[in-house]
Amino acid sequence: MKKTIAIAAALSALAAPAFAGDIALTINGVQPEGGKVLVSLQTEEQFMTREYAASDMLDGAQAGTLTTTLKDVPAGEYALSILHDANGDWKMDLSEQYLPQEGWAMSGEVKMNRPPQFSDARFTVQEGAQAVSLDMSYPE
């Protein structure tokens, strides 16, 4: 009986996610273009889809710096994507050359000469609270 309880306790500990805590996100350089600033925290499987591990929507009429907190994020590898959806169509508008026509930011070292790759955008969420700061890019 004691062995069964010990095994059950061990299995339940394995099944429970390890919560890392909160991510305090600072978004710098927001231009007052209206619409919404969409925040998505994604795993590799969710990357560049409409699925996400955590998200938020902020007012896009404010200029300067926006902040939000993504709460109770499990430890793991993620990418952060920010879209300033000024026209409210819930997607990134692209030019004929497939360059962004709306404000955006992404974690990591994403290259503009090709579609974003999770390997370039990923960062590790570890136990405890952490802060992330991203700078917005807007088309010229």
Residue range 37-62, pLDDT digits in tens: 999 999 999 999 999 999 999 999 88
Residue 13: the pLDDT is 46
User: Would you say 92 and 104 are in contact if contact means Cβ atoms under 8 Å apart?
Assistant: yes
Map out the domains of the chain as residue ranges.
Answer: 18-135
| Per-residue model confidence (pLDDT) at position 112 | 75
Cα dist. 86→24, 76, 105, 106 in Å? Answer: 24, 31, 14, 17
**Tokens 């890019």 belong to residue:** 137
pLDDT tens across 79-128, in order? 999 999 999 999 999 889 888 999 999 999 987 778 899 999 999 998 88
Establish how many alpha carbons lie within 13 A of residue 74's alpha carbon, considering only the half-sphere containing its beta carbon. Answer: 9
User: Looking at this protein, which amino acid is placed at residue 102?
Assistant: E
Phi-psi region of 101 (alpha: psi -120 to 50; beta: other; left: phi over 0): alpha
pLDDT exceeds cutoff 90 at 8: no
- Fold classification of 18-135 is Immunoglobulin-like (2.60.40)
Instruction: Give CA torsion, residues 82, 83, 88, 90, to 10 deg.
Output: -80
- Give pLDDT, residue 2: 52
pLDDT at residue number 62: 86
Higher pLDDT, 39 or 21: 39
Residue 111 confidence (pLDDT):
78
The overall pTM is greater than 0.75: yes
Q: Which residues contact 120 (CB under 8 A, 6 or more apart)?
A: 108, 109, 110, 111
